[in-house]
C-alpha cells in the first residue's frame, strides 16, 4: 500500500476495510449536504485503501473542481482551504475522459498529469454520475489491485446513493418552501378579499328588499363557504409539507368548546347540543386539532337537508382514549360510502363540496395515533366518531 512523505504504511486488513465501509455507510446516511458527503467520502477512501491522496471532484460547466481533499494531500496544495481554486481538470483532460466513461477504473498517473504537487503514481477513479468523481491516489509505483478497485467501487455506489438522496431532499425542501410561500400569500390575500365581500354584502343588505335580500344572503353564504374552504386548504397544505410528525398534549375541552362557539355563531339556524361539562383531559395532538372538530361539525351542518339542522356533540372518557361523537339529523351516509368518505376527493352524497375537509380530518387523526369512523344515527342521519389518544400524563 502507499505511504506519504516516506512515512511507514499502515497495514489495513480486509476486516478493517469491511468495518470502515460499514461505518462509512452510517456516516453517509447522516450527511445533510454535498459538502458533508464529499468530506466523508474522501476520509473513507483514504482509510479503507490506505491511499493518502483522495479527492472528491465536483463536475460543473465542463470543469472538474476539487471540493474535498484528504489530509495528507493538503500539504501539496497551494490553497488547501479551497482546493478547487487550483485543482481542476477541464473537459478534454485525461481525468474528464474517465469521468465520461462512467465506470470505476485503475490508473497509472504521470506526475505531470496531477493537479497538485503530490508524488502521485497510481490511483482509482470512481465516477459519481452527474455529480462528479471520487479519486484515490497513492505514491506507490504500481497499478492498484482488483480488490482495491472493488472496494472503491462499493464506496462510490454508497456515495452516489447519498448524493442522489441529498439532491432529492433539497428539491423537496425547495418545493415545500415554495408551497408554503404560495399558501401564505393566497390565504392572506384571498381572506382579505372575502372579508371585504362579506362586509360590503352586509352593508348592501340594509338597502335591499324582497328578492334582492335573498341574493345578498347567497353572496354572504358563498363568501363564508369560500373562507372555510380556504382555511381547510391551507391546513391541508401544511399537513402535506410535514415529513415528521410530533404531537403534544392538548387540552381537548377548550379546543372543542371554542370551535363549537364559532360554529354556532356562524350557523345561527342550526341547533348544536353539547355536554354540560367537557372533560379536562389532554390528548395527543397539535395546533390543528381545532381543524378536525371544525370540519366534522361544518360537514354535519352544511350537508344537512333538514329544515332545522341538529347536531349533538358528545364526549366519552374510555380509559386510554377520549371518544368524541358528532351526530346529525341529515340524510345519512350509505353503507358503501362509509369507509371511503374520508378518502381524498370523496364527499357526502349530493355534496357540492370538494371532499378535502373529511380527508384532512382522517389525515390529522391518523397522525395523532387515533381513529375516525362513520355510523348511522337513529332515526336518521349520520354519526362521525373520533377516538383520540390521551396524553401520557392523563392516560
Chain segment 315-332, per-residue pLDDT in tens = 999 889 999 999 999 999
My answer on whether 193 and 211 are in the same domain is yes
Q: According to the model, what pLDDT value does residue 12 have?
A: 67
My answer on whether 84 and 126 are in the same domain is yes
CA distance readout (Å), 85 to 79, 98, 232, 233, 345: 7, 21, 52, 49, 54
Q: According to the model, what pLDDT value does residue 345 have?
A: 56
Task: Show the domain range for 287.
Answer: 246-394
Higher pLDDT, 194 or 312: 312
The set of cell numbers assigned to 300 is 354535519
Which range among 53-62, 122-131, 216-225 shows the weakest confidence by mean pLDDT?
216-225
My answer on whether 229 and 255 are in the same domain is no
My answer on whether 102 and 177 are in the same domain is yes
Chain segment 270-282, per-residue pLDDT in tens = 999 999 888 889 9
Q: What percent of the chain has pLDDT over 90?
A: 45
The answer to the question of residue 3 being in a domain is: no
Please say whether the beta carbons of 30 and 66 come within 8 A. Answer: no
The set of cell numbers assigned to 238 is 401544511
CA atoms within 13 A on the CB side of 11: 1
| Mean local confidence (pLDDT), 299-315 | 91
**Residues in contact with 378: Cβ distance below 8 Å, sequence separation at least 6, in sequence order:** none
Angle at CA of residue 19, ends 16 and 22, nearest 5°: 150
Q: According to the model, what pLDDT value does residue 11 have?
A: 60
Query: Is residue 172 pLDDT above 80, yes or no?
Result: yes
Q: The domain spanning residue 141 has which CATH number?
A: 3.30.450.40
Q: How sure is the predictor about 60, in pLDDT bands with cuts at 50, 70 and 90?
A: very high
What is the pairing mode between strands 105-108 and 88-90?
unpaired
Q: Phi then psi for 348, rounded to 5 degrees?
A: -65, 155
Q: According to the model, what pLDDT value does residue 67 have?
A: 95
Please say whether the beta carbons of 35 and 65 come within 8 A. Answer: no
My answer on whether 234 and 253 are in the same domain is no
Q: How sure is the predictor about 10, in pLDDT bands with cuts at 50, 70 and 90?
A: very low
Bridge partners of 374, per DSSP, are 384
CA distance readout (Å), 11 to 1, 47, 54: 8, 11, 18
Give the neighbor-by-neighbor strand order of the sheet with 122-127.
88-90, 63-69, 53-60, 132-138, 122-127, 105-108
Q: How sure is the predictor about 42, in pLDDT bands with cuts at 50, 70 and 90?
A: very high
Query: Is residue 292 pLDDT above 50, yes or no?
Result: yes
> To the nearest 10°, the Cα dihedral for 63, 64, 68, 74?
-100
My answer on whether 302 and 352 are in the same domain is yes
Round to whole Å and give the CA distance between 373 and 6.
74
Q: According to the model, what pLDDT value does residue 271 have?
A: 93
Please provide the size of the chain in residues: 395
Round to whole Å and give the CA distance between 199 and 216.
11
Q: Count other C-beta atoms under 10 Å from residue 138's C-beta.
A: 28
Sign of CA dihedral 88, 92, 95, 97: positive
What does the DSSP 8-state code read for residue 71? Answer: G
The answer to the question of residue 2 being in a domain is: no
| Mean local confidence (pLDDT), 1-21 | 61
Q: According to the model, what pLDDT value does residue 209 have?
A: 83
Round to whole Å and give the CA distance between 167 and 256.
42
Q: Count other C-beta atoms under 10 Å from residue 32's C-beta.
A: 10
Higher pLDDT, 177 or 95: 95
Which range among 37-51, 207-221, 263-277 shows the weakest confidence by mean pLDDT?
207-221
Chain segment 86-111, per-residue pLDDT in tens = 899 999 998 999 999 989 999 887 66
Q: According to the model, what pLDDT value does residue 163 have?
A: 95
My answer on whether 133 and 121 are in the same domain is yes
- How buried is residue 264: exposed, middle or buried, by Cβ count under 10 Å (0-12/13-18/19+)? middle
pLDDT averaged over every residue in the chain: 85
| Mean local confidence (pLDDT), 52-56 | 94
Q: According to the model, what pLDDT value does residue 377 have?
A: 94
The answer to the question of residue 43 being in a domain is: yes
Q: How sure is the predictor about 202, in pLDDT bands with cuts at 50, 70 and 90?
A: confident
My answer on whether 258 and 317 are in the same domain is yes
My answer on whether 57 and 71 are in the same domain is yes
Helix axes of 356-367 and 211-240: crossing angle, nearest 10 degrees: 30
The answer to the question of residue 112 being in a domain is: yes
The set of cell numbers assigned to 117 is 504537487
Bridge partners of 390, per DSSP, are 283
Q: DSSP secondary structure string, 190-201?
A: HHHHHHHHHHHH
Give the total number of structural domains in the chain. Answer: 2
Q: The domain spanning residue 260 has which CATH number?
A: 3.30.565.10
Query: Is residue 3 pLDDT above 60, yes or no?
Result: no
Please say whether the beta carbons of 46 and 2 come within 8 A. Answer: no
Round to whole Å and give the CA distance between 52 and 379.
82
Q: DSSP secondary structure string, 300-357?
A: HHHT--SSS-EEEEEEEEETTEEEEEEEE-SS---HHHHTTTTSTT---TT--S-SHH
Higher pLDDT, 228 or 145: 145
Please say whether the beta carbons of 180 and 241 come within 8 A. Answer: yes
Query: Residue 329 CA to chain centroid, in angstroms?
Result: 39
Sign of CA dihedral 206, 208, 210, 212: negative
Listed residues 243, 277, 312: the one ending a domain: 243
Q: According to the model, what pLDDT value does residue 8 have?
A: 38
My answer on whether 271 and 182 are in the same domain is no
Query: Is residue 117 pLDDT above 90, yes or no?
Result: no
Q: According to the model, what pLDDT value does residue 2 have?
A: 39
Query: Is residue 254 pLDDT above 90, yes or no?
Result: yes
My answer on whether 348 and 270 are in the same domain is yes
Q: According to the model, what pLDDT value does residue 347 have?
A: 52
Amino acid at each position: 500500500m502507499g505511504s506519504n512523505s516516506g512515512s511507514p504504511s499502515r497495514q489495513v486488513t480486509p476486516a478493517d476495510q469491511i468495518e470502515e465501509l460499514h461505518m462509512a455507510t452510517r456516516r453517509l446516511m447522516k450527511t445533510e449536504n454535498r459538502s458533508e458527503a464529499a468530506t466523508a467520502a474522501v476520509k473513507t477512501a483514504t482509510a479503507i485503501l490506505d491511499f493518502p491522496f483522495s479527492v472528491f471532484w465536483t463536475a460543473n460547466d465542463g470543469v472538474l473542481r476539487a471540493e474535498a481533499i484528504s489530509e495528507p494531500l493538503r500539504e501539496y496544495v497551494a490553497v488547501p482551504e479551497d482546493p478547487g481554486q487550483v485543482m481542476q481538470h477541464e473537459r478534454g483532460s485525461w481525468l474528464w475522459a474517465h469521468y465520461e466513461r462512467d465506470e470505476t477504473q485503475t490508473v497509472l498517473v504521470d506526475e505531470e498529469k496531477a493537479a497538485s504537487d503530490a508524488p502521485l503514481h497510481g490511483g482509482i477513479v470512481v465516477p459519481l454520475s452527474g455529480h462528479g468523481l471520487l479519486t484515490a491516489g497513492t505514491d506507490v509505483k504500481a497499478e492498484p489491485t482488483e480488490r482495491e478497485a472493488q472496494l472503491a467501487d462499493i464506496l462510490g455506489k454508497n456515495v452516489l446513493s447519498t448524493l442522489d438522496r441529498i439532491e432529492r431532499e433539497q428539491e423537496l425542501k425547495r418545493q415545500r418552501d415554495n408551497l408554503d410561500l404560495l399558501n401564505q400569500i393566497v390565504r392572506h390575500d384571498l381572506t382579505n378579499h372575502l372579508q371585504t365581500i362579506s362586509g360590503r354584502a352586509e352593508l348592501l343588505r340594509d338597502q335591499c328588499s324582497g328578492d334582492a335580500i335573498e341574493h345578498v344572503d347567497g353572496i354572504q353564504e358563498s363568501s363564508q363557504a369560500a373562507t372555510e374552504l380556504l382555511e381547510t386548504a391551507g391546513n391541508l397544505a401544511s399537513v402535506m409539507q410535514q415529513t415528521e410528525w410530533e404531537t403534544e398534549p392538548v387540552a381537548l375541552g377548550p379546543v372543542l368548546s371554542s370551535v363549537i362557539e364559532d360554529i354556532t355563531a356562524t350557523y345561527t339556524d342550526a341547533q348544536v347540543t353539547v355536554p354540560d361539562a367537557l372533560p379536562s383531559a389532554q390528548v395527543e395532538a397539535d395546533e390543528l386539532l381545532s381543524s378536525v372538530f371544525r370540519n366534522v361539525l361544518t360537514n354535519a351542518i352544511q350537508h344537512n337537508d333538514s329544515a332545522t339542522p341538529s347536531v349533538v356533540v358528545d364526549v366519552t372518557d374510555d380509559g386510554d382514549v377520549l371518544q368524541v361523537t358528532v351526530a346529525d339529523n341529515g340524510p345519512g351516509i350509505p353503507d358503501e360510502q362509509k369507509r371511503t368518505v374520508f378518502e381524498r376527493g370523496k364527499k357526502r352524497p349530493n355534496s357540492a363540496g370538494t371532499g378535502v375537509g373529511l380527508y384532512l380530518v382522517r389525515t390529522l387523526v391518523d397522525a395523532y395515533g387515533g381513529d375516525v369512523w362513520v355510523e348511522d344515527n337513529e332515526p336518521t342521519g349520520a354519526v362521525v366518531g373520533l377516538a383520540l389518544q390521551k396524553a401520557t400524563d392523563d392516560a
